Amino acid sequence: MFYYLNGTVAEIDINFAVVDCNGVGYGVNTTANTLSKLKKGEKAKLYICESIREDAFELYGFSTVQEKRCFEMLLTVSGIGPKAAQSILSASTPEGLALAIMNGNEKVITAAQGVGKKIAQRVILELKDKISKEAGSTAAGMPEMLTPADNGTRSDAIAALMVLGYSAPEINSVLRGVDVTGLSTEQIVKLVLKNMM
């Protein structure tokens, strides 16, 4: 199993890069967001998700763990394969996608090439329900974290961070000492992600 590749970017193409690791070139499918951070001839570290089928063994690489987690979360949605997940994450940042799911904003998801309204609705329905159930199951253990405050922005931010693959304890440990009064959901998400880095 590959966790990440750390090497020199040898080639860049549309949604694809080749990373040279000690003389071996690994072809990696990736998103527009990750490609924008890569430069040919420079060092890069990509977090890897493998896709193995009868006729293919493909690597999907991401510049951040958040993007990788979001990709893996999208793959849990029925009807979403690696190419569709890659397309969705090319049209939006992980944070933007998480907020779109929590707010039911289909337009962010349908902006992805080859993704229609039905798939967008399924992504929102399945992932929002999944996060709501996870948040509900942890509410008893962490009431101070999941109590709606500031018109629900704190709760929405927690749910969005859970879409990105963070656990309730991880989020709680960062939020415990942070004042989020008056911040928007997006600002809270960015603040938490910054503190987790």
At 146 the pLDDT is 42
Strand 24-30 relative to strand 16-21, pairing = antiparallel
**In terms of Cα–Cα distance, which of 76, 89, 98 is closest to 47?**
89
Instruction: Return the pLDDT at 138.
Output: 47
pLDDT at 106: 92
Q: pLDDT per residue over 115-168, tens digit each?
A: 999 999 999 998 887 766 655 554 444 444 444 444 567 777 887 888 777 877
Give the residue ranges of the chain where pLDDT is below 50: 138-150
Question: How many CB atoms neighbour CB 5 within 10 A?
Answer: 19
Q: What does residue 111 show for φ and ψ, rounded to 5 degrees? A: -70, -20
Instruction: Give 47-59 as a 3 state SS string.
Output: EEEEEECCCCEEE
Q: In the prediction, which pLDDT does 66 show?
A: 86
Kind plus residue range of the DSSP H or E element containing 13: strand 4-13
Q: What is the DSSP letter of 19?
A: E
